Amino acid sequence: DSGVTQTPKHLITATGQRVTLRCSPRSGDLSVYWYQQSLDQGLQFLIQYYNGEERAKGNILERFSAQQFPDLHSELNLSSLELGDSALYFCASSALMGQPQHFGDGTRLSIL
């Protein structure tokens, strides 16, 4: 158990819809990262937050956004969903930026 909690584990929705994925980092970790794992692209970094502030952006689409709240949990919002957004979405956390990241078990998003 990494200590990183992601909910829900599975999400099934339709094209055009909007969903919110939630992540609770390990106790004491200030940095949260979001990754997308699809069959063809592997694990891709999306975005990073540190103590409530956005710190780095990777290959995140404009339809996607995230935030980190004062209690340090984070949410990833995906809107105008397309079939290609079907993937595993992982959250990771680390105590400080640049230290090993510890991953949750992911949310599997299926778009029908």
Site residues for other proteins per CB under 8 A: 2, 4, 31, 33, 35, 42-48, 50, 55-56, 58, 90, 92, 96-98, 100-106
CB of 17 vs other proteins, minimal distance in Å: 25
Q: Which is nearer to other proteins, 12 or 43 (CB)?
A: 43
Give least dist CB 90 to other proteins, A: 6
Burial letters for 82-104: b for 16+ Cβ neighbours within 10 Å, e otherwise? Answer: eeebbbebbbbbbeeeeeebbeb
CA distances from 101 to 4, 37, 52, 63, 109 (A): 10, 16, 17, 25, 22
Q: Which is nearer to other proteins, 2 or 77 (CB)?
A: 2
